[in-house]
Amino acid sequence: MALTFTPGKIPGVVVVDPAVYPDERGFFTETFHAEKYAANGIPAHFVQDNYSHSNRHVLRGLHYQRNNPQGKLVYVIHGEIMDVIVDMRKGSPMFGKWEAVLLDSESHRQVYVPEGCAHGFVVLSDEADVMYKCTNLYSPKDDQGLLWSDPDLAIDWPTQTPSLSPKDAVLPLLKDTPEDTLPVFT
């Protein structure tokens, strides 16, 4: 299998299918290569790596940072998730639209979430271990989000009763987010 980069429907989203080399011992795959990824629209400069372990139907998100937005390269090292990206960049042709990508440890598929988009995922397997590289450091004062069940977004989540953090359960709707706080599409 050759390394492939496929643009998503949201500008800046890139789905990566890495080359995987299995043999009787297991497998080998490259999870990031600065030159190859940069040549395909994914920044080569990441400053923070995050690791998340979650159980079935845990939904994390939809998160973004108001200032110091984070681009994220997301992949699963164990299990399966439905990863969701919401374009909330003022001036984007896809403003208010969402895109979902299935990520799992079998395919090793990755997705790049561009800066200015909200991001979240729900766990489809019994457990999932998710890794993501970020283009900016986490900034608690800039931490923002959108309600996972925002009716205007109409995201087709595979569960209607996810396990949420108290913070994620009360995030605002996109229409209630002040326009002057929205990221700008460039």
- The pLDDT tens digits of the residues spanning 62-93 come to 999 988 999 999 999 999 999 999 999 999 99
Known active-site residue 63: yes
Over residues 136-153, the pLDDT tens digits come to 999 999 999 999 999 999
| CB neighbour list of residue 94: distance below 8 Å, 6 or more residues apart | 9, 10, 11, 87
Instruction: Evaluate whether residue 186 is within a structural domain.
Output: no
Which domain covers residue 53, as residue numbers? Answer: 4-181
Q: In this model, does residue 127 exceed pLDDT 80?
A: yes
> Looking at the domain assignment, is residue 95 inside a domain?
yes
Q: Global pTM?
A: 0.96
> Does the pLDDT value for residue 1 go beyond 80?
no
Answer yes or no: 132 catalytic: yes
Considering 63, 64, 108, 119, which one is annotated as catalytic? 63
Q: What is the CATH number of the domain that holds 72?
A: 2.60.120.10
Domains in the chain, number: 1
Neighbour count for residue 54 (Cβ, 10 Å): 19
The one-character DSSP state at 155 is: -
Of 37, 64, 112, 132, catalytic: 132
Reply yes or no on whether the pLDDT at 180 is more than 90.
no
Tell whether 169 is covered by a domain.
yes
Predicted pLDDT of residue 66: 87
* Cα–Cα distance, 174 to 47 (Å, whole number): 28
